[in-house]
Each structure stands twice: as C-alpha cells, then as structure tokens.
Structure 1
Amino acid sequence: MKTDAQLKQDVEDELEWDPAVKATDIGVEVSDRIVTLSGHPSSYAEKVAAEKAAHRVAGVKAVVVEMHVRLPNDDVRTDEDIANAVRSVLRWTVGLREDDVKVQVEKGWVTLSGEVEWAYQSHIANRAVSQMRGVTGVSNRIDVRGDVDSEDIGTNIARAMQRHAERETKHIQIKVQDGTVTLSGKVGSYAERQVARGAAWSAPGVRAVIDNLVVE
C-alpha cells in the first residue's frame, strides 16, 4: 500500500501530466489516503479536471475539494452573457431539446433544472456547461422522467457492463432504488470504473448514479 507521501507525489504528478490542469494552481495534501485539493483554478473546467485527475490515482480513498475558481479578468462575463451563452450551447447540443433545460446564473454559478427523458441527457448538459468560459460552478438539478422497473434497470446495466468490460463484472454490485443506481465493489483500474459508471448513466430509467467503487 502506498504511503500518504507517495500518494501526494502521484497526485501532483498526475496534475502535472493533465493538459487541462495548471499544476501550480492546485495544492495537494494527503492524510490517511484522503486527498485534499486546494487553491484557485482559473476555470471551473480546470477545477473538474483536477478532481478527476486525483480520483484516477490508484490508492486514493477519497477526494476533498477546497478549490475556489478565480477567473482571469479576460474571462469574466456578466450573468446575462453567461445565461445567453449557456442557452445557445444547450440549443446546439445533440440529444437535448431546448425547452427541457432551464438555466439560472448567479455570480457566474450556473444552475440547471428541468426534466429530460434519459440520465445521459442530464450528464451531457452538465458537461457542456462545465467547459464554458466565465462559469465558476455548476449545480445540476435536472430531473429524469420515466418509470422503469428497478430489476430491469439493474439487468440492463449488468448486460452493458459485460459488453464493454474486458473481464467479468461479477465483482461489481448494482443496487437500484427509485431510479438511483449505487455501484459498489472493487475494480482493477480507473478505466473499468468509467465503464461501469458510463453503463449506469446510459440505462433507461436511471435518475442518479452513486459511485462507491474502489480502484484496487
């Protein structure tokens, strides 16, 4: 098992390696394999990228986020400008209907609400907005319509995992309740974890995904 010092070095190296992150913007501390990220990333997209980078490092048990976005002067936009830009981006995003997602912006923080048919539509809306200039944060409050039996949801996710994964997925437990999928168990890599999460988000009737998977 890696020591906290080794994990700290690995996380710092991963941040340095990720082209979406300016490593000097981010501070890293590790205690009992829990990583705390601090500092002032220059965009919300960089903040999200830093979180993902820390999660990718083998041995990390959890990530605590204490980062606060500090936009460069050239990236500062009015809330009205951001709202108009977000609506435009969502309008041009494949798989979304313009009227499904409502937008609210306060001090650069975007709140998405409304209803969509599939969980992946909520996911792509959140991802599209997260990459936008001038955005300091995103709250995704989009509800997912649909009423699919929990057993059917679990079966569909398990079949998708078997199609996508390179090894058996019996080590992954899938629990479904009221459209919320909880994944637990141990996976061999971050890539395998992403496969499981992607399969869960893509299943009809899924409203939310809780990822309790542990990367060995």
Structure 2
Amino acid sequence: MTQTQHRADHEFEAAITDELAWTPSVDAREIGVSVTDGAATLSGNVGTYPELEEALRAATRVHGVTVSADRIVVRHADGAPSDDDLAREAAIVFDRHTVVVPKGSVRAEVTDHVITLRGNVDWQFQREAARHAMATLPGVSGIRNLITLTAATLVPPAETQGRIKAALRRHAAPEAPHIEVDVLGSHVTLSGTVSSSAERRAAEQAAWFAAGVTAVDNQVTLSD
C-alpha cells in the first residue's frame, strides 16, 4: 500500500469515528474503527441490535466508504429473553403484520439470540419489513434474512429496464445517465459510477421497486 493510501485510510478512520460520535442513537465509546482501502471494519460492543445497525449506517454515510464489515457484539443486560421467548415474540409480531408480510409466508428460528428468517414473499419491501420487525425485539443479537423473493408478476426484461431508468430520471439523480441497467429474467445488474454512497443506495432502491424483480446486483462504484 502506498503512503498516500495509508494516510487516506487514517482519514477515513477519523471521519467514521466522528460520524459515530455525531449519531445520537449510537454510543460510540466502545466501538473501534479500522479501514483498509476504503473498507471499514467496526468492532466492539453495543447494547441493542438496532444500535448495531445504526452504527453500520453511520459508517457508510462517510463519503468513499463502500463496505462495512461487522464485528460488533451486542451485549445484553441481565434478564434478556431466552431463545424460546424470542421465537414466541417473533410469531406474535408476524401475526400482527399480515398487511405487510402475508400471514404464514415467513417463519423465524432462534439460536443463541440470532433470528433466522425463512419463507417466500413477492417484494423486497416485504423482506425488509420482516427483518425490521425482528430487529426491534429486545434480546436480538443478529438476524440472518434467508427469505426468498418469488416473481409473482412476470415482466419483460426490456420493460423492467425502461421502468428502472425512468425512475432514476424522476429522482433527478445527476448520475442517472451514467448508471447502466441490465436485466436478465427477474435479475437486475446495476453498473456505472456515482459520487456518493447515498446515490448508490438510491439506485438500488429504484431497481427493487420494479415489479417482478427478485435480485439486484449493485456493481455501481463511487467516483474519485
């Protein structure tokens, strides 16, 4: 690694540390940051799983950081729910969220306070809603989202491509003309360059909003 890159990594570390301290929902005192070639690794302890997610989001808000590796451990206070208690709470949550996640479409398995989600839904927002509902349960240490998407609506690839490109233009993203959209069946691949992580995430979200999409490979990179 060159000396210039080494200095840049130290600058990234300082910026991420400052962003963590700036984020009110994160207690950054026990979180460590290391960066190699723009890829950040967070380690340490937090009190809840939502706090862990907020810490990862804070790291990716820093311009130029494309990956956040998670080595943070959720340290629960005494009296945390057992795996059986978590499984029962998860079942109750899904029973109450049938508008977003169809009843019976998703099941939760709990091992060592890590929830594994399995099942099938039609849309990415439903998959994310299931994950978010589990993240808010007290005592959760991690979530493995293995829910699969089924293409309930079959849309010609050219039509899907056109709709995604139109959405990017509507969102007034300045880099929209530089984002390539390739569609193979129900799979979408995005490529090109944008100037920020937020624009990269927005492009991926636009792709997920297209009917019939079951996978998005976001290969969009950040410009220097």
Q: For each residue in 1:146-198, what CA deviation from the matched residue of structure 2 results, as whole angstroms up to 9, or x when unmatched? A: 24333333222222222223435111122333433232222233332232122
Corresponding residue number in structure 1 for 2:162: 155
Q: For each residue in 1:61-84, what CA deviation from the matched residue of structure 2 results, as whole angstroms up to 9, or x when unmatched? A: 43222222222225x111122122
Corresponding residue number in structure 2 for 1:41: 46
State the secondary structure of the residue aligned to 2:117: strand
Alignment pair present for 1:27 and 2:25:
no
Shift of residue 145, structure 1, vs aligned partner:
1.5
The whole-number CA distance in structure 1 between the counterparts of 2:110 and 2:174 is 44
C-alpha root-mean-square deviation of aligned residues, in Å? Answer: 2.1
Corresponding residue number in structure 2 for 1:56: 61
Corresponding residue number in structure 2 for 1:129: 134
Is the CA contact 2:175–2:193 (under 8 Å) kept in the aligned structure 1? no
Is the CA contact 1:165–1:192 (under 8 Å) kept in the aligned structure 2? no
Corresponding residue number in structure 1 for 2:85: 81
State the secondary structure of the residue aligned to 2:158: helix
Is the CA contact 2:47–2:76 (under 8 Å) kept in the aligned structure 1? yes
- From the CA coordinates, give the structure whose radius of gyration is larger: 2
Matches within 5 A, 1:166-185: 166-167=173-174, 169-185=176-192
Corresponding residue number in structure 2 for 1:90: 94
Q: For each residue in 1:108-166, what CA deviation from the matched residue of structure 2 results, as whole angstroms up to 9, or x when unmatched? A: 11111111122221122112212322111111111112243333332222222222234
The whole-number CA distance in structure 1 between the counterparts of 2:124 and 2:66 is 26
The whole-number CA distance in structure 2 between the counterparts of 1:40 and 1:213 is 31
| Structure 1 gap segments, 5+ residues each | none
Q: Which of residues 173, 192, 199 is equivalent to 1:192? A: 199
Aligned residues: 215
Corresponding residue number in structure 1 for 2:115: 110
Q: For each residue in 1:39-71, what CA deviation from the matched residue of structure 2 results, as whole angstroms up to 9, or x when unmatched? A: 122222222221121111112243222222222
Is the CA contact 2:64–2:197 (under 8 Å) kept in the aligned structure 1? no
Is the CA contact 1:108–1:137 (under 8 Å) kept in the aligned structure 2? yes
Shift of residue 8, structure 1, vs aligned partner:
0.7
TM-score (normalizing by structure 2): 0.86
| Structure 2 gap segments, 5+ residues each | none
State the secondary structure of the residue aligned to 1:160: helix
State the secondary structure of the residue aligned to 1:73: coil
More displaced 10-residue stretch of structure 1: 23-32 or 5-14: 23-32
TM-score (normalizing by structure 1): 0.88
Is the CA contact 2:66–2:197 (under 8 Å) kept in the aligned structure 1? no
Is the CA contact 2:175–2:194 (under 8 Å) kept in the aligned structure 1? no
Shift of residue 11, structure 1, vs aligned partner:
0.3
Residue 90 of structure 2 aligns with an amino acid whose one-letter code is V
The whole-number CA distance in structure 2 between the counterparts of 1:180 and 1:126 is 22
Corresponding residue number in structure 2 for 1:209: 216
Residue 34 of structure 1 aligns with an amino acid whose one-letter code is A
The whole-number CA distance in structure 2 between the counterparts of 1:71 and 1:180 is 39
The whole-number CA distance in structure 2 between the counterparts of 1:112 and 1:158 is 32
